[in-house]
Structure 1
Amino acid sequence: MSDIPVLEGTRVRLAPMTLDHLPGLEKVAFDDRIWRYMPVSIKSPQDLREWVEKALRLRDAGTTLPWVTVLRSENRVIGSTRFFDLDRAHQTAELGHTWLSPEFHGAGLNAEAKLLQLTYGFEQLGLRRVALKTHHENLQSQKAMRKIGAVEEGRFRNHYIMPDGSQRHSVWFSIIREDWPQTKSLLEARVQGPTPPSA
């Protein structure tokens, strides 16, 4: 875990995830809107504990860097995000498992978290490629990825069976090292833009 830094932004802090964060996560994690497009459904404290424990096992294996998202003004946990499928030999990772309490949707905090993660990924870890994927029906997420300069690469058909039994096709995007300067500028502009009203 010493490998995972605290990433400080203007409004959010990304803190390395630990089991100590469970009480804070429990206050925000049990909203069905968070998990609507994800291949996992978190309904109970036990589900959440297993989800965190799995992230920490993958962290210990060296393939995942999990953070909790903290609202700095209140020092309050409001979500989570991570790098996973981290391949240091090929300098690639996927950014995902990202969610925020619906109270903060549309407030620009996700853009700031992505700016923090991607800056760390490209400028500290030396990544060459960061992948992102989303549910084929999650058009809002796809639009947000395009807005920051991520390039759509295609879809994995029948990629997941969702908790309700439906099929999910995953739409894949990537940001590569050559794209990073433009993506960084776009994210910085979004983060420094007019602050939306408080949720």
Structure 2
Amino acid sequence: MIDTPVLDGVRVRLEPMTEDHLVALEGVAYDDRIWRYMIVWVKSRDDLRAWLESALREKTAGTSLPWVTVLKSGKRVIGSSRLFNLDLRHRTVELGHTWLAPQYHGAGLNAEAKLLQLRYAFDELGLNRVGLKTHHDNLQSQAAMRKIGAVEEGTLRNHLVMPDGSARHSVYFSIIREEWPWVRSLLEERVAQGSV
């Protein structure tokens, strides 16, 4: 099992998720806009606890590295993200389960968090591929993935069942090792400018 490291940026810090973060996450997690396109909806403390415990079980299994996103000014927990489906043999991972409290959308913080996670995946873990996927109706997320340089690979139709029973088609993107230097430069420039 890989220990989830602290990833320290300019405006955000990604801290390894623990049960101790439950209270801080409660302060920002109960907005339906966060969960609309997720395959788990969090509406109560029990939902949030189950979501957190699931992330920690995957961490213990060695397939996930979950973080909470902390705004360094004020030291406030504002969201979460993780690397998951980690496969060291094939040197691949997915980046996702990402959310920020809506009041922090559009502030460039997600780009900075992605830079930290991608730098860790490619430069520290030596991975060859980082995949990303999103709900077919989540056009904002798809645009954000393109904006960071991810390449759209296609759509898995009727891939997942949403909590309301509807079918989710998952739109897949990836960044591969050969693209990483360009993506890193793009993200570093955006973080330096404080752009979305």
Query: What is the TM-score normalised by the length of structure 2?
Result: 0.97
Q: Give how far 1:148 is off.
A: 1.4
> Corresponding residue for 1:189?
189
AA paired with 1:117? Answer: Q
1:32-71 equivalence runs, <5 A: 32-71=32-71
> Corresponding residue for 1:142?
142
**Which digits, 9 at most, give the CA deviation of each residue in 1:128-185, with x for residues without a partner?**
0000000111111111111111110001100111112222100000000001001101
1:120 paired with 2:131, answer no
AA paired with 1:162? Answer: M
Maintained 8 Å contact 2:161/2:168: yes
Secondary structure (helix, strand or coil) at the match of 2:37 reads: coil
% same residue? 70
> Corresponding residue for 2:110?
110
1:20-39 equivalence runs, <5 A: 20-39=20-39
RMSD of aligned alpha carbons: 1.2
> Corresponding residue for 1:17?
17
> Corresponding residue for 2:85?
85
Secondary structure (helix, strand or coil) at the match of 1:80 reads: strand
Aligned partners of 1:108, 1:194: CA distance in 2, in Å? 5
AA paired with 1:81? Answer: S
Aligned partners of 1:127, 1:2: CA distance in 2, in Å? 14
Aligned partners of 2:150, 2:22: CA distance in 1, in Å? 32
Name the count of aligned residue pairs: 196
> Corresponding residue for 1:177?
177
Aligned partners of 2:92, 2:118: CA distance in 1, in Å? 12
5+ unaligned residues in a row in structure 1: which ranges?
A: none
**Which digits, 9 at most, give the CA deviation of each residue in 1:11-43, with x for residues without a partner?**
000000000000000000010000011111001
Secondary structure (helix, strand or coil) at the match of 2:145 reads: helix
Aligned partners of 2:130, 2:48: CA distance in 1, in Å? 26
Secondary structure (helix, strand or coil) at the match of 1:112 reads: helix
**Which digits, 9 at most, give the CA deviation of each residue in 1:63-96, with x for residues without a partner?**
0000000000011100000000000111100000
Q: Give how far 1:2 is off.
A: 6.7
> Corresponding residue for 2:129?
129
Secondary structure (helix, strand or coil) at the match of 1:123 reads: helix
1:168 paired with 2:172, answer no
> Corresponding residue for 1:152?
152
Aligned partners of 2:173, 2:195: CA distance in 1, in Å? 27
Aligned partners of 1:194, 1:139: CA distance in 2, in Å? 22
